[in-house]
């Protein structure tokens, strides 16, 4: 269950210490963050082929054939998969001399042509082009020999143009093949480039992907090793070079692929503990930015690293070395990742770069191709169903509700495997003073998959539990949380918030940094991290700009330690029911290091643990009752500490938006006509009266006495008229 602290109803709170800050109450906070899930579905093996004594490399598919390269060898296997349960070798193409000592590890197929990247090549050519219009009888056509990228690690073919990158330069070469005639191939190697893009990152470009967008453009996604993701517009590649659009940092960025709707692009980082990141492509006022939305990595006892990505619709397929194929659904609104299915192709131990190398899912869900370095070709049936609908919250979940004004929840309900029925979208609400009774509130359809629902006024001090439900045109019902009503979201009903301390870290308020690590001491800064589910955050939590991070260099994490961040002394002596809130980010790739949060009420003389957390992804807005740990005094101090001990993992932490708050229920003056005591006269008071029609007045029942608004000694419809006649007339 999503938890929230109950609020005691405080009255007569006007005499507060001068240090208290009054802030307007903000309703609708705490966006949900994704985390790695246990596999819900095991994909099934359809067929496999392993007929080679060496190491396999990348795989591509076209029609009824799979094309699989050789790592360290110069051949390509062409495998007939028309009967996927019994794949048969149709041909083995051997790269001819003088390039027969190359590593034919990258293969692509398009327009009946096979393109082989000749990495570690001793000859003059960089790419071999083969006619595979008749796959069992491949015919060598020509080679590409260009100096810009002489040692290609990856190629990509799109609309008659071949994009080439190598493992030794930060360039992208574009070769025009629109005039290549397989029936009349050129008699000499192709030596001319149409365009060369320089300075893509600081070291070299590892992989590239070229994909159309729903709006009609075509974009190039380039993964620059050590520099991150770079995006270019290649819509008009015949007439102009790739046009730079945006970039975002990354560490050992290996491969990338956009979702079919063009909203997100997924990257993978090839390194120990390397994982995947989901970036939203945001177009605004003619510009493009890449915003990190989610990411995750696997524990290093499950897989050394991720390798390649490939999207079909909003499902991303990954080859994850020793963990095999892992397919995740990318939420079409939030970008959140949910594991859909998996199949492990590798039975050995977890060490280095071995296991699932390439993945190709475009031949249908029953013919997902995976190449394993040691075990050859796997054909997998990914039977995992898509989610029926996606339910997300663009403005975040509501966690505070005003007792009179209520709160508004904005919900996005989008079709995936089923079509939501907008007439059935419902918010279910339960209050702590009437447990077990959920009120159904119909949502209002706003268009573009958006709905809103209004929380009703609820007496202050209540804890509200709620969930969202929608039916589909196919006859299913979907709830969020999925296990509702056993699992629910919660919100406190409060009239205002007072703060004794609030720090967004834009100015120095007196925090102390302790520890002498090799790297990764706490510092207040605009975060410049790598994201990827395991590095520093790319942005702060509250949008103000700065936060505290453990080392702000691009590749700087905590080494040794411990490192501690200690708050200034905070005076909480004015009340006893303070709530502590802060946002934390903590990632650790081996699960052996932790972030510990402690509180002291004697200026650091003694400490009480608030929480200790292991690695997870994303900012987490956390809330605790101070009195559950210490008695509030005028010498309260917070401490955040972590350590990479021993120094054998990637450990990163960040803290933002630290607040000590009072959630208040202010005393409402009595008001003639305010039957339900919510501080105003409105139609709800009429309902209160009618609900108590027949109450005996003068017998000591306060509800009955309150419902007798006209004072005639009886609760009857005249009291309802009394209330309505005074609608809005309230001095309280």
Averaged pLDDT of the chain: 86
Say if 15 falls within a structural domain.
Answer: no
Q: Which domain holds residue 408?
A: 395-493
Query: DSSP string spanning 54-99?
Result: SEEEEEEEETTEEEEEEETSSEEEEEE-SSTTS-EEEEEEEPPTTS
Residue 590's CATH number: 2.60.120.200
How far apart, in whole angstroms, are the C-alpha atoms of residue 207 and residue 200?
A: 12
Report how far residue 43's alpha carbon sits from residue 300's, in angstroms, rounded to the nearest whole number.
Answer: 22
Partners of 623 in the β-ladder: 581
pLDDT digits (tens, 9 = 90+) for 440-455: 999 999 998 999 999 9
Instruction: Report if residue 59 sits inside a domain.
Output: no
Same domain, 403 and 526: no
Give pLDDT, residue 720: 80
Q: 349-353: list long-range contacts, CB under 8 Å, 24+ apart.
A: 349/322, 350/300, 350/301, 350/302, 350/303, 350/304, 350/322, 351/304, 352/304, 353/270, 353/304, 353/305, 353/307, 353/321
pLDDT, mean of residues 406-411: 94
Share of the chain above pLDDT 70, in %: 90
* Reported pTM: 0.68
Among residues 493, 512, 540, the one where a domain terminates is 493
Same domain, 282 and 263: yes
Number of domains observed in the structure of the chain: 4
How is residue 71 written in tokens?
């790592």
| Same domain, yes or no: 472 and 405 | yes
DSSP state of 235: T
In a domain, 346, yes or no: yes
Q: Distance (Å, rounded) from C-alpha 418 to C-alpha 474?
A: 7
pLDDT at residue number 730 = 61
The answer on 425 and 324 residing in a single domain is no
Domain co-membership, 242 together with 275: yes
Say how far residue 543 (Cα) sits from the centre of its chain.
Answer: 17
Closest CA to 96 of 79, 72, 121: 121
φ, ψ of residue 254 to 5 degrees: the values are -100, -55
Q: Are residues 219 and 346 in the same domain?
A: yes
Q: Is residue 101 part of a domain?
A: no
Of the two residues 475 and 395, the one the predictor is more confident about is: 475
Place 17 in a pLDDT band, splitting at 50, 70 and 90.
very low
Give 264's pLDDT tier (boundaries 50, 70, 90): very high
Q: Are residues 321 and 420 in the same domain?
A: no
Please tell me whether residues 519 and 484 are part of one structural domain.
no
Query: Per the structure block, which two tokens stand in for 484?
Result: 């509702």
Mean per-residue pLDDT, 120-136: 91
Q: Is the residue at 93 inside a domain?
A: no
For 685, the 3-state DSSP assignment is helix
Domain boundary among 472, 493, 514: 493
Together in a domain, 403 and 489? yes
**429 and 522 housed in the same domain:** no
């Amino acid at each position: 269950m999503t938890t929230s602290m109950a609020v005691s109803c405080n009255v007569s709170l006007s005499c507060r210490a001068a240090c208290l800050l009054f802030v307007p109450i903000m309703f609708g906070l705490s966006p949900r963050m994704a985390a790695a899930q246990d596999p819900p579905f095991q994909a099934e093996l359809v067929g496999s082929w392993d007929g080679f004594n060496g190491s396999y490399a990348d795989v591509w598919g076209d029609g009824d054939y799979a094309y699989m390269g050789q790592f360290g060898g110069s051949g390509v296997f062409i495998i007939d998969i028309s009967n996927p349960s019994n794949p048969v070798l149709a041909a083995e193409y051997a790269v001819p001399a003088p390039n027969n000592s190359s590593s034919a590890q990258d293969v692509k197929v398009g327009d009946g042509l096979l393109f082989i990247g000749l990495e570690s090549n001793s000859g003059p050519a960089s790419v071999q082009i083969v006619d595979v219009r008749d796959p069992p009888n491949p015919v060598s056509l020509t080679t590409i020999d260009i100096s810009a990228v002489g040692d290609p690690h990856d190629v990509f073919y799109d609309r008659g143009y071949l994009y080439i990158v190598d493992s030794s330069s930060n360039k992208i070469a574009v070769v025009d093949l629109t005039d290549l005639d397989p029936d009349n191939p050129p008699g000499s190697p192709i030596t001319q480039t149409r365009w060369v893009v320089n300075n893509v990152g600081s070291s070299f470009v590892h992989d590239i992907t070229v994909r159309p967008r729903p709006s009609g453009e075509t974009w190039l996604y380039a993964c620059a090793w050590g520099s991150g993701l770079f995006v270019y517009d290649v819509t008009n590649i015949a007439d102009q070079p790739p046009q730079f659009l945006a970039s975002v940092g990354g560490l050992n960025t290996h491969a990338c692929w956009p979702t079919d709707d063009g909203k997100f692009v997924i990257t993978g980082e090839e390194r120990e503990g390397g994982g995947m990141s989901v970036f939203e492509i945001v177009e605004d006022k003619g510009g493009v930015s890449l915003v990190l939305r989610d990411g995750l990595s696997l524990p290093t006892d499950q897989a050394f690293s991720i390798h390649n990505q490939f999207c079909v619709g909003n499902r991303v397929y990954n080859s994850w070395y020793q963990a095999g194929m892992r397919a995740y659904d990318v939420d079409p609104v939030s970008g959140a990742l949910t594991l859909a299915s998996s199949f492990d192709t590798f039975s050995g131990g977890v060490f280095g770069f071995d296991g699932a190398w390439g993945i190709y899912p475009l031949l249908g869900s029953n013919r997902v191709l995976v190449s394993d370095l040691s075990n050859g070709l796997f054909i997998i049936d990914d039977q995992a169903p898509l989610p029926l609908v996606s339910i997300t919250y663009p403005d975040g979940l509501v966690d505070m509700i005003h007792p009179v004004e209520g709160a508004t929840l904005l919900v996005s309900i989008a079709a995936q495997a089923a079509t939501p029925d907008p007439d059935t979208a419902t918010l279910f609400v339960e209050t702590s003073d009437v447990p077990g009774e959920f009120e159904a509130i119909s949502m209002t359809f706003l268009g573009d998959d958006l709905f809103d629902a209004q929380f009703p006024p609820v007496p202050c001090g209540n804890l509200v539990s709620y969930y969202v439900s929608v039916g589909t045109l196919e006859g299913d019902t979907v709830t969020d949380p999925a296990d509702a009503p056993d699992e629910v979201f919660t919100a406190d009903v409060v009239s205002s918030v007072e703060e004794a301390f609030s720090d967004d870290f834009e100015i120095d308020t007196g925090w102390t940094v302790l520890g002498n690590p090799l790297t990764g001491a706490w510092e207040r800064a605009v975060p410049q991290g790598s994201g990827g589910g395991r590095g520093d955050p790319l942005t702060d939590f509250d949008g103000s700009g700065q936060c505290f991070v453990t080392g702000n260099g691009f590749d700087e994490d905590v080494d040794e330690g411990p490192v501690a961040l200690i708050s200034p002394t905070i005076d909480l002596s004015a009340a006893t029911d303070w709530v502590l809130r802060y946002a934390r980010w903590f990632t650790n790739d081996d699960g052996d290091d932790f972030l510990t949060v402690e509180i002291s009420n004697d200026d650091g003389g003694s400490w009480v643990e608030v929480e200790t957390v292991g690695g997870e992804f994303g900012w987490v807005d956390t809330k605790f009752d101070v009195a559950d740990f210490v008695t509030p005094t005028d010498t309260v101090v917070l401490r955040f500490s972590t350590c990479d001990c021993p120094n054998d993992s990637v450990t990163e932490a960040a803290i933002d938006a630290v607040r000590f708050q009072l959630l208040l229920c202010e005393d409402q003056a009595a008001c003639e006509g305010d039957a339900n005591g919510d501080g105003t006269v409105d139609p709800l008071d009429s309902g209160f009266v009618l609900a108590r029609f027949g109450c005996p007045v003068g017998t000591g029942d306060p509800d009955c006495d309150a419902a007798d608004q006209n004072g005639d000694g009886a609760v009857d419809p005249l009291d309802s008229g009394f209330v309505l006649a005074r609608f809005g007339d309230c001095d309280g």
